[in-house]
Structure 1
Amino acid sequence: MEFTHLGRTGLTVSRLCLGTMNFGPQTEEPVAHAIMDTAHEQGINFFDTANGYGGAERRGWTEEILGRWFASGGGRRERTVLATKVYGDMGSWPNEGKLSALNIRRALDASLKRLQTDYVDLYQFHHVDRATPWEEIWQAVEVAVAQGKILYAGSSNFAGWHLAQAQAAAAKRNLLGLVSEQSLYNLMVRDIELEVIPAAEHYGLGIIPWSPLQGGLLGGVVRKTNEGVRRLEGRSAASLEEHREQLTAYEELADELGHEPGDLALAWLLHRPAVTAPIIGPRIPEQLDGALRAVDIILDEATLDRLDEIFPGRKTAPEDYAW
C-alpha cells in the first residue's frame, strides 16, 4: 500500500479509503468485520463512514458496526484514521440535523458512543448548511477540538466558493480550517475540475472522491451485461444506453492495457491533482481484493490522453467556458 498526507496536514493515510456505507444494509456484520480486518492487513488505514449510514429506518447502524469492531481490540482503533460525517437528519425533532452548534455537539457525542471511541480523526460536514453561519460552525469545531473529540475537519459535496468561504472564516479564528473535501468524482463525472479541485489545491485540501466507479458503470458493465453476469434496470440501464459507446471504448482500452476496468478507473483518480484517496465501498471481500490492484498501476501520458478522449474533462473555470 502507498501512503500520502491528507491535504496539507501531517496526517498519513493510505491511497485508498475504505468506505463503509454498505455495512449493515447490504453487508452483514461478520462480513463487514472481515473486510475491515483484510483492509488493515493490506495496509489500508483510512476508513470513512457517516452518522446517517444504515438506512432511513436504522440511522447509525454502520457506526455501531464499526464500534463493535473497534471494541474487539487488537489495535484496530489505534491503526485506523477514522472519518465520519454530520449533517443529515437523525430524527424528526428540530435540531437533529444540519450544522448548528447544538446539532454538531449532540451528533458528535452520539457518533462517538456508537463508534466506541473517544475521538474522531476527521469530522466531515456532509453537505453545506446555507442556514448556519460559518462563525457558528467553527465555534462548535473549536470547542470539539479543545475537548479532544475531533482532530481535523473536512467537507463533503461543497462547491468551490463554499471552500473559500469556510477557509476565510476559519482564518479569522486562526484555525486550521478544512483539510479535505469529499466529492463525486470519476472519469464520467468531472465537474469538480471546474472550481472545486482548483480551490482544494489553493487551500491545501485533499480530495476524497466518492463513487469512483460511477455506480458500477466503470467496472466493466458492458461486458458483464453482455455475458449476463449483471442486469441493470431503471436509471442505471438508461445511463448505460446513453454512454454505451464511451463505455465500450473504455473497456476495450482496459483490455488492451491488461487491466480490469474498475482498477483502471481507480488508478486514473490516483493520478489526478489533489486527490488523496478514492473511496472504495466493497460489499464482499472479493471487491476489496480487486480494488487493491489499482495502487500499483502507473498510467503514462499517452494513456491519460486516451482516457481524456473517451471521457472529456473540464478546464479550470473560467477558461472552460470563457476566454
Structure 2
Amino acid sequence: MTFYTQLGRTGLKVSRLALGTVNFGGRVDEPEANKLMDHALERGINVVDTANMYGWRVYKGHTEEVIGRWLAASASRRDEVVLATKVGNEMGPGPNDEGLSARHIIAACEASLRRLGTDWIDLYQMHRVDHTSSWDEVWQAMEQLVGQGKVRYVGSSNFAGWNLAAAQESARHRHLLGVVSEQCGYNLVTRFPELEVLPAAQAYGIAVLVWSPLHGGLLGGVIRKLAEGTAVKSAQGRAAATLDDWRDTIAEYERYCHEIGRDPAQVGLSWVLSRPGVTGVVIGPRTEEHVDGAIQALETPVSEAEIARLDALFPPVGRGGSAPHAWIA
C-alpha cells in the first residue's frame, strides 16, 4: 500500500496513518506524547489529529496545548505537519459552548489556534452533527475562517451519509469546496459505514479517515492480553462492553491470526486500510512500538484469501455492499 495519498479531491498529500492524540493527558503524559509525535514524524506520519475537547481527563483543551508546545519546540515542525482538530462538542457550561453555531465555530477556532500556538489549522473538522444549526450558518462561519487564512480545509466526523450529502449540496450552492474528509468509526465489528457513509463519501470525493479501527482494542488480541494480564485499553471502554457478545468470534479471530503468523492488531488495521473508499486510519498509540506496528500493518496488506476468511468471521451487514442493495431480498 502507498504511504501517502491525497486527502479526498484536494491536492493535499497526507500519510495513510494519522497520529491520533485522544490518549494524550491521562493515559499518555506530556514527555511521552512528545516522544510519540517525534517518532511518528520521523517515520513519515505527517497528520496529527486532535480535538478541542481532548485532554478532558486533565481539562478540555489540554491536548491542544501539549501539541502546541511540541510544535513550538522546532521551527520546521509546523510546516511538516498536517494539523487537524475538531469543533462541536461541549467545551463549557454555557448554552453557546457547544454545537455548530457561527458564534461557537469562530470562537472555538480562535481558542484552538491559541492553544496550538499556530496561525492556521489544516483540517478543521465538525466533531458531530448539529441539527439546530443550518448549513447556511455553518458554511458562513467556515467561509469566514478560510477567507481569513485560519483554516485550510473543512472536514466532518461522525456524520451519516445523508449529512454528508446535505452538507456538500449546501456548500456547492455557495460555490465552496465544502467537506473534504469524514472521520468515522469503522472496523471488522462495526461495518455499518459500508451501507451509506462510504458510498456517499466516494460519490462526493470525500476522504474517509477511520477512527477506532480496532474497536477500542477488541481486535487487538484482547483475549490473549486479558489472560496475560497485559490488557490496558482493551480492558475498558467499547472493547470491554462488547467482548461478551463477541467472545467466541474474537477467540476464533485470534486463532486465525496466530495461524497466519500475524498480530491481531496488524490484521485489523490492514483490513481497514484495504477497504474501498478508506483514505487512512487514525491510530491512538501509547508507545512507539504501537506506531511501528501500525506502519507494519500498512506495509503488509491482507490477501484476498485473508479478506474472505475475515468476511466469514465478521459478515458484512445484510447481504453486503451498499444500501439499499444490502437489504433487498
Q: Could you state the TM-score of these two structures normalised by the residue count of structure 1?
A: 0.96
1-structure distance, mates of 2:140, 2:241? 45
| Structure 2: gaps (5+ residues) | none
C-alpha displacement at 1:230, in angstroms? 2.8
Query: Secondary structure at the residue paired with 2:216?
Result: coil
Query: Secondary structure at the residue paired with 1:62?
Result: helix
Question: Any residues of structure 2 matched to 1:1-323 within 5 Å, and which?
Answer: 2-55=3-56, 58-230=59-231, 232=235, 236-237=239-240, 239-314=242-317, 315-323=321-329
C-alpha displacement at 1:5, in angstroms? 0.6
Q: Is the 8 A contact 2:26 2:57 kept in 1?
A: no
Report the residue type matching 1:285 in the other structure: E
1-structure distance, mates of 2:58, 2:82? 28
CA change 1:300–1:51 in 2 (3 A) is same
1-structure distance, mates of 2:228, 2:125? 40
1-structure distance, mates of 2:75, 2:281? 26
2-structure distance, mates of 1:20, 1:40? 14
2-structure distance, mates of 1:22, 1:12? 25
2-structure distance, mates of 1:41, 1:155? 28
Report the residue type matching 1:179 in the other structure: V
C-alpha displacement at 1:74, in angstroms? 4.2
Q: Deviations over 1:14-45 (max 9, x none)?
A: 01010001111211101100100000110000
Query: Secondary structure at the residue paired with 1:278?
Result: strand
Q: What percentage of residue pairs aligned between the two structures are identical?
A: 52
1-structure distance, mates of 2:296, 2:290? 11
2-structure distance, mates of 1:146, 1:35? 33
C-alpha displacement at 1:90, in angstroms? 1.2
C-alpha displacement at 1:236, in angstroms? 4.2
| Structure 1: gaps (5+ residues) | none
Query: Secondary structure at the residue paired with 1:8?
Result: coil
2-structure distance, mates of 1:228, 1:157? 33
Query: Secondary structure at the residue paired with 2:280?
Result: coil
C-alpha displacement at 1:234, in angstroms? 8.2
C-alpha displacement at 1:226, in angstroms? 2.5
Query: Secondary structure at the residue paired with 1:151?
Result: strand
RMSD of aligned alpha carbons: 1.5
For structure 1, which segment, 289-298 or 210-219, has the greater mean C-alpha deviation from structure 2 after superposition?
Answer: 289-298
1-structure distance, mates of 2:58, 2:230? 31
1-structure distance, mates of 2:237, 2:262? 29
C-alpha displacement at 1:240, in angstroms? 1.8
Report the residue type matching 2:322 in the other structure: T
For structure 1, which segment, 278-287 or 148-157, has the greater mean C-alpha deviation from structure 2 after superposition?
Answer: 278-287
C-alpha displacement at 1:321, in angstroms? 1.4
For structure 1, which segment, 291-300 or 116-125, has the greater mean C-alpha deviation from structure 2 after superposition?
Answer: 291-300
Q: Could you state the TM-score of these two structures normalised by the residue count of structure 2?
A: 0.95
1-structure distance, mates of 2:198, 2:107? 32
Q: How many residues align?
A: 323
Q: Is the 8 A contact 2:71 2:77 kept in 1?
A: yes
1-structure distance, mates of 2:73, 2:237? 41
Report the residue type matching 2:266 in the other structure: D
1-structure distance, mates of 2:218, 2:137? 40
Report the residue type matching 2:324 in the other structure: P
